[in-house]
Chain A
Amino acid sequence: MKTRRLFLRTALACASLVGALGMASAQAADPLRIGFSMSKTGPFAVAAQEQLAVYAMWKDEVNARGGMDVEGTKRKVEFVEYDNQSKPDVSVRIYEKLITDDKVDLLLAPWGTPFQIALTPVLEKYKFPVVGNTAASVALRQVKAGYIWFPTSAIPDQMAVELVKMMGEQKVKSAAIVSNILPFSKELKNALEPELKKAGIEIKYSTEYPPSIKDMTPIVAQVKNANPDAVLVLSYPSDSVLYSKQAHEVGISSPFQFVAVGPSTAAFRDAVGASANGVITMGHWSPKRTEWNGAKAFQENYVARYKHEPDYLNAALTYMSLQIMEQAVQKAGLNKEALRKTISSDTFDTINGKVKFQGVENVTTPVAFLQIQSGQLELVWPASIATSKFMRKTAQ
């Protein structure tokens, strides 16, 4: 009997010891689980690439330095990621699952404006803060402030004002507008038209085209015929390439050529070649601003890992959002309310300089423009952060 009791007691002691040890080790190695949905398949898979690439790179960077700092404790990062098939409603359901079922510690944003806007009600409902990134639209301002923030400064209405200012400085008197019918392009077009009118710039030719366009020869022929000082191409990545190649073919010689989405990627420069030089595009980041926190290192690490330059717009915005989240968690920990307050009120030090939010908007980063010069992207507007001077585009 005695032996049996002793055995039981020993067994119990052993079991509790093992349990305690197990718990202790689990606590020390407990990784930080970060969830997100991404357009890995479907029509936006191409566009979402860089964001996913930056997430993956950041995770490895953080884990290489021992993990993410949560109020002084380093915790390794683990991703819980799902494909949303490029459907915002699927993405929303994934985030609900991530919060309620997977019970992740933090969330990262999905790709793109419609996905990030669609996510907002879920964040409100579960009081879960997320730093947005690759979203830009005047509609962002309608998003209720509180649980999401957008670091972009490329919001169409502000961009239109600055672009027309820049055109004024270059003595542009006439322009042609070639616009995709997708929402971002339309917003930019709607904002540009009154600004051009105000500045007395004549619109010599204006047309819209669908995203399915395969041949732009009829459009570039019309633009060449109109011979404006400026061509404003309000395009998406694939039609940006199409326009640039075909404009080069027919020899459009307008000295000011703005191409909205795409030229900030390495893929654009690879596809268009030397005739990409002189193209102006949206973007507010440059690795040449070495005073920005980690700007140069971000570019170098990205190039070492992916063998091409990061997208100066989306890749940079994605990394900014991660830096903001990291700095907020370091200070406020994982408590959602504390995190929300910190992100809403603090100033963050990012690869694009200081960022501070007012409502959902980043109010410190200026609207800026990049220009491709000798195959390199240079900030040419505004002067306060410019890395090079504007150059007139030549036909060749």
Chain B
Amino acid sequence: MSVLEVLFSGQLLFAALLTASVYAIVAVGLNMTYGTMRLLNVAHGDLVMIGAYAAYWLFTGLGIAPLWSAIVVTLACALLGVLLYSGLLKNLMARAGGTARLEANSLLLFFGLSMIIQNVMVSVETATPRAYQYLSEIHRFGGLSMTGNRLAALAVAILACLAIAAFLRWNIFGLALRAVIERSDAARIVGVNVEQVHKVSLAIGFGAAGLAGVLISMMEQFSPFIGFSMTIAAFIVIILGGLGNIAAGFGAALILGLLETYGVALTSPTLRSVLLYGVFVLTLILLPQGLFRRRLGP
């Protein structure tokens, strides 16, 4: 394939968008928990894993189609976020004393949680990778062919991103959420219910992770250990975009998706990590605030 063929290949564009949109919804949740609460949730990827297993159980056990169970799983994960906040995180944040301390404490807490979640899943489901067949027919449009489940996942992921973006842009609660991200103390002074915002952002973040899990389970094989690489990818996205900068996160996810597909197609698959981490490290050195620097600095 020549360079032009690569650049104009619909197949590659489809793959890049799909990768990007999944990265985007995984990363948005991580970004929200960090942005509003300064919590470093390294167990975020494990939520994705739980979402994948939940969809698998609902599909193989009860015959519920993943596109339906996506709703149930998203809501359940959102609820889990709220419960975790009331039961554990609220206390942790009250006692932490200082952002740096909170970041460190939450890192350890979530690391521990991640280990527990993974090992519980191994004992429940064994480490054998799981997968199921759903919408596996191929749709062809000219030279472009797409598996049904990947097409559906792309559509749902883009819809989810748009919904979250719209919520943050136009909904009054979304605006409050952005206010807390930008100036937590100031938001409190002007009457924003910060605790409520924390709950909502965790609910959205966890829900998005669960949804990503459902989508991934439709397309790929998964095991209790997929979480870690998800967390890493999400961290790269949000650091590229700028920690706490939600909209920029979507842009960064797109860049990462394009890089992963076109970068590899134009160079060599062995350079995948060099490309991804290279851009990541360069960004950290040259633009430590992220590729898309926020206009409102602290």
Chain A residues near B (Cβ < 8 Å) = 41, 43, 45-46, 48-50, 53, 181, 207-210, 212-219, 221-222, 225, 237-238, 241-242, 245, 248-251, 267, 270-271, 273-275, 308
CB interface residues, B 36-60, toward A, < 8 Å: none
Q: Which residues of B contact A208 (CB under 8 A)?
A: 268-270
Which chain B residue shows the least CB distance to A249? B147
For the complex of A and B, 9 pairs with smallest distance between CB atoms: A271-B131, A209-B269, A218-B265, A217-B15, A271-B221, A273-B133, A241-B221, A45-B127, A218-B264
Chain A CB within 8 A of B293 CB: no
Q: Which residues of B contact A49 (CB under 8 A)?
A: 126-128
- What is the bound-complex CA distance between A251 and B141, given in angstroms? 13
- What is the bound-complex CA distance between A3 and B148, given in angstroms? 94
> Given B6, B119, B131, B133, which contacts A267 in the complex, CB threshold below 8 Å?
B131
New A-B contacts (18) at CB < 8 Å, excluding given A45-B225, A225-B5, A242-B220: A41-B119, A46-B129, A48-B127, A49-B128, A210-B273, A215-B19, A217-B11, A217-B261, A218-B12, A218-B265, A221-B9, A221-B265, A238-B221, A241-B129, A245-B147, A249-B145, A249-B146, A270-B130
Which chain B residue shows the least CB distance to A308? B128
- What is the bound-complex CA distance between A43 and B260, given in angstroms? 22
Main secondary structure of the interface of A (DSSP, over half): helix
Question: How far in angstroms is the closest Cβ of chain B from A394?
Answer: 13
Chain B residues near A (Cβ < 8 Å) = 1, 5-6, 9, 11-12, 14-15, 19, 119, 122, 126-133, 136, 138, 145-147, 150, 219-221, 223, 225, 229, 260-262, 264-265, 268-270, 272-273
Q: Which residues of B contact A251 (CB under 8 A)?
A: 138, 145
Q: Say whether A209 contacts B270, CB under 8 Å.
A: yes
- What is the bound-complex CA distance between A88 and B150, given in angstroms? 38
Question: How far in angstroms is the closest Cβ of chain A from B150?
Answer: 7
- What is the bound-complex CA distance between A43 and B9, given in angstroms? 35
Contact (A215, B15) CB under 8 Å given A221-B265, A248-B147, A270-B131: yes
Q: Which residues of A contact B126 (CB under 8 A)?
A: 49, 53
Question: How far in angstroms is the closest Cβ of chain A from B7?
Answer: 12
Q: Which residues of B contact A212 (CB under 8 A)?
A: 229, 272-273
Q: Which residues of B contact A207 (CB under 8 A)?
A: 268-269
Determine which residue in B6, B14, B147, B219 has the highest number of CB atoms from chain A within 10 A of its CB, and name it. Answer: B147
Question: How far in angstroms is the closest Cβ of chain B from A225?
Answer: 5
- What is the bound-complex CA distance between A222 and B261, given in angstroms? 13
- What is the bound-complex CA distance between A212 and B262, given in angstroms? 16
Q: Which residues of A contact B6 (CB under 8 A)?
A: 218
Which chain A residue shows the least CB distance to B274? A210
Q: Say whether B270 contacts A210, CB under 8 Å.
A: yes
Question: How far in angstroms is the closest Cβ of chain A from B37?
Answer: 29
> Given B11, B122, B128, B223, which contacts A221 in the complex, CB threshold below 8 Å?
B11
Q: Say whether A249 contacts B150, CB under 8 Å.
A: yes
- What is the bound-complex CA distance between A267 and B129, given in angstroms? 6
Which chain B residue shows the least CB distance to A53? B126
Contact (A213, B127) CB under 8 Å given A238-B221, A249-B146: no
Contact (A249, B138) CB under 8 Å given A49-B127, A212-B273, A217-B12: yes
Q: Which residues of B contact A249 (CB under 8 A)?
A: 138, 145-147, 150
Which chain A residue shows the least CB distance to B15? A217
Q: Say whether B11 contacts A250, CB under 8 Å.
A: yes
Q: Say whether A210 contacts B133, CB under 8 Å.
A: no
Q: Say whether A221 contacts B1, CB under 8 Å.
A: yes
- What is the bound-complex CA distance between A110 and B219, given in angstroms? 32
Question: How far in angstroms is the closest Cβ of chain B from A184?
Answer: 17
Q: Say whether A222 contacts B12, CB under 8 Å.
A: no
> Given B136, B145, B223, B265, which contacts A273 in the complex, CB threshold below 8 Å?
B136
Which chain A residue shows the least CB distance to B146? A249
Question: How far in angstroms is the closest Cβ of chain A from B20?
Answer: 11
Question: How far in angstroms is the closest Cβ of chain B from A222?
Answer: 6
Q: Say whether A213 contacts B221, CB under 8 Å.
A: no
Q: Which residues of A contact B272 (CB under 8 A)?
A: 209-210, 212-213
Q: Say whether B260 contacts A248, CB under 8 Å.
A: no
- What is the bound-complex CA distance between A109 and B223, given in angstroms? 24
- What is the bound-complex CA distance between A222 and B2, given in angstroms? 10
Q: Say whether B260 contacts A215, CB under 8 Å.
A: yes
Q: Say whether B130 contacts A225, CB under 8 Å.
A: no
Q: Which residues of A contact B147 (CB under 8 A)?
A: 245, 248-249
- What is the bound-complex CA distance between A212 and B272, given in angstroms? 8
Contact (A181, B130) CB under 8 Å given A221-B12, A222-B1: no
- What is the bound-complex CA distance between A270 and B217, given in angstroms? 12
Q: Which residues of B contact A237 (CB under 8 A)?
A: 129
- What is the bound-complex CA distance between A369 and B269, given in angstroms? 28
Q: Which residues of B contact A225 (CB under 8 A)?
A: 1, 5
Contact (A46, B127) CB under 8 Å given A215-B260, A222-B1: yes
Q: Say whether B225 contacts A46, CB under 8 Å.
A: yes
Q: Say whether B261 contacts A238, CB under 8 Å.
A: no
- What is the bound-complex CA distance between A254 and B265, given in angstroms? 21
Contact (A215, B261) CB under 8 Å given A249-B150, A267-B130, A271-B221: yes
Q: Which residues of A contact B119 (CB under 8 A)?
A: 41
Q: Which residues of B contact A43 (CB under 8 A)?
A: 225
Question: How far in angstroms is the closest Cβ of chain B from A251?
Answer: 6
Q: Which residues of B contact A50 (CB under 8 A)?
A: 128
- What is the bound-complex CA distance between A240 and B18, given in angstroms? 20
Q: 14 A–B contact pairs at CB < 8 A?
A: A43-B225, A46-B127, A46-B223, A49-B127, A207-B269, A214-B229, A217-B12, A218-B269, A219-B269, A248-B138, A250-B145, A251-B138, A267-B129, A267-B130
Q: Which residues of A contact B131 (CB under 8 A)?
A: 241, 267, 270-271
Question: How far in angstroms is the closest Cβ of chain B from A177?
Answer: 13
Q: Which residues of B contact A218 (CB under 8 A)?
A: 6, 12, 15, 261-262, 264-265, 269
Which chain A residue shows the least CB distance to B232? A212
Which chain A residue shows the least CB distance to B131? A271
Question: How far in angstroms is the closest Cβ of chain B from A210?
Answer: 6
